[in-house]
Amino acid sequence: MNGVEVKPSPIEGLGLFATRPFRAGERIRRVNIVREITEDAPLREDLGERIEHCSFPDGKVLLWGFPDRYVNHSCDPNAYEWHEGSDIYIVARRDIAPGEEITFDYNINLTGGTPIPCNCGAERCHGVIFGDFFALPKAIQREYRPLLAHWFVRRYRHLIEALDAEP
Ligand SMILES: C[S@@+](CC[C@H](N)C(=O)[O-])C[C@H]1O[C@@H](n2cnc3c(N)ncnc32)[C@H](O)[C@@H]1O
Ligand SMILES: [Zn+2]
């Protein structure tokens, strides 16, 4: 694989790791999307397909493939998803060294998810993955604002614009 590998993670199960350095802002890879999950083509749990390996852009449900489905969550992530048309890229949020685990904050571009305990180990870990961007502390919502997908900003414009006004 080009610059990444999947192996056991101290955060949870398997994770995605860098095998070469990446610079802040560099595209690490384009996400391998298996397919869209719909009523006519539902998730096949009998075939090992898991909702944990899906993302939810703009009301859709997309099943992620290998190796991208192994990106774990961190409350201080070194990468983020960048949506461009129907493509999703994994982009470095800061410089990443070989051997570092590549992580996202799952709360970005998400609302109304189910909270789960977080084991990311970051100094600023909230102890929980809220499953909801707007449950994050306001300062962190502001920090992530440039990373938000266009569709998310469009859908929740009133809440995102309110970030400017609030202390
Ligand atoms: C996209 S998968 C990530 C790959 C997963 N580690 C695996 O081996 O399949 C998402 C799932 O990983 C687990 N996970 C990811 N980040 C976590 C974290 N910071 N703390 C606890 N569990 C986490 C949760 O079970 C979550 O539903
Ligand atoms: Zn955490």
Residue-wise pLDDT tens digits, 13-23: 999 999 999 99
Residue 85 in this model has a pLDDT that exceeds 90: no
Q: Which residues contact 48 (CB under 8 A, 6 or more apart)?
A: none
Q: Which of 51, 61, 64, 73 to mutate to test the pocket of ligand 1 (most atoms within 8 A of CB)?
A: 73
Question: For residue 134, what pLDDT is reported?
Answer: 97
Residue 1 in this model has a pLDDT that exceeds 90: no
Residue 25 in this model has a pLDDT that exceeds 80: yes
Q: Does domain 4-165 have CATH number 2.40.10.10?
A: no
Q: Which ligand is nearest to the CA of 52?
A: 1
Residue 165 in this model has a pLDDT that exceeds 90: no
Boundaries of every domain in the chain: 4-165
User: Region 141-159: what's the mean pLDDT?
Assistant: 96
Atom in ligand 1 nearest the alpha carbon of residue 64: 1
Q: What is the CA radius of gyration of the chain?
A: 16
* CA 151 to ligand 1 centroid distance, Å: 25
Strand bridging mode 54-55 / 62-64: antiparallel
Residue 112 in this model has a pLDDT that exceeds 90: yes
Ligand 1 and 119: CB distance under 6 A? yes
For residue 122, name the pLDDT band (cuts at 50, 70, 90).
Answer: very high
